[in-house]
A = this chain, B = another copy of it.
Amino acid sequence: MKVTALAGGVGGAKLVDGLAQCLSPSDLNVIINTADDFKHFGLHISPDIDTVCYTLAGISNIQTGWGREDESWVVRHSIRDLGGPDWFKLGDKDIATHLERTRRLNLGEKLDSITKYFCNKWGIKINVIPMSNDLVMTTVQTQDNGEIPFQEYFVKYHCQPKVKGFIFRGIEKADPAPGVIDSILKADVIIICPSNPWVSIDPILTLKDFRKTLKTKCVIAISPIINGKALRGPAAKMFKEMGIIPSALAVADHYRDVISGFVVHKTDLNEIAQIEQWSIMTTALDIIMSNKAHRKRLAQEVLIFCDQLI
């Protein structure tokens, strides 16, 4: 089975790691959200690409969910000594990634090629594709604080401001990166990982030609909401502030026009009937991935579910 996964940060990275444990590398493509990429200290930072790659390479910090394991903080402390901003926690090893990415971008190399190069260096065999080589910048429209760049909303303000919408600045001019549309066309199934629908998956879906292509394919999604709560991150809070009761049902509704299959958590059984009314085949699985073995187990179960759909 040829699979293309769509993923954002932590939750997506975990399922992708599970899928990578189950599938042959040539059968798995992953399209990563880059709409929360940003410039900080002149560096090009791609948080979701890094989270997915560090996770796949086995060098991610499992405690924090972001950054690298065995990280040191000398640069950050020296920046603080200079009175510079330290709200975005940059570890020393992580900074090396941003520096080398920025150096290559400045030389004219594209993000997809740099990502491929990094994957090779880190021993990652599956195909990790940034959604676009063009800069898209998510901003959060807040109820009381105007429009805030996503990383400031997310990291600096700890998702506190109430949201009323999201703008993916630059999305209409952004071309899908080479391989993005092709990997959709060639896939037997597209898996939308348990990432944030609003800020991780929607940017990918909004890409030029993307939704149109997706509608020709078998697409399944895994709920990032369990029992009305997000396992981590602001997804549930965002649904609520957008006037929608956060639930697996709400997530299925969000993806309703593109998915034909949906996975809820094993305790969310009462939502299944309603979702299936929308002709979305639904299954209940243990979605929580606490370790590498859990990731593989969920991926296996998801792939069995996909097999029933295609």
Contacts and interface: CB of A to CB of B under 8 A. Distances in A.
A79 B117 CA distance: 13
Copies per complex? 2
A42 B103 CA distance: 6
Given A72-B72, A74-B92, A82 B102 contact: no
10 contacts: A39-B106, A41-B100, A41-B103, A42-B99, A42-B106, A72-B92, A78-B95, A79-B99, A85-B103, A92-B92
Interface residues of A, number: 31
Contacts of A74: 72, 74, 92-93, 96
Nearest to A114: B82
Interface string A81-94: 11111000000110
B121 A82 contact: yes
Interface of A: 39-44, 72, 74-79, 81-85, 92-93, 95-97, 99-100, 102-103, 106, 117-118, 121
A110 to B, nearest CB: 16
Nearest to A78: B96
A121 B83 contact: yes
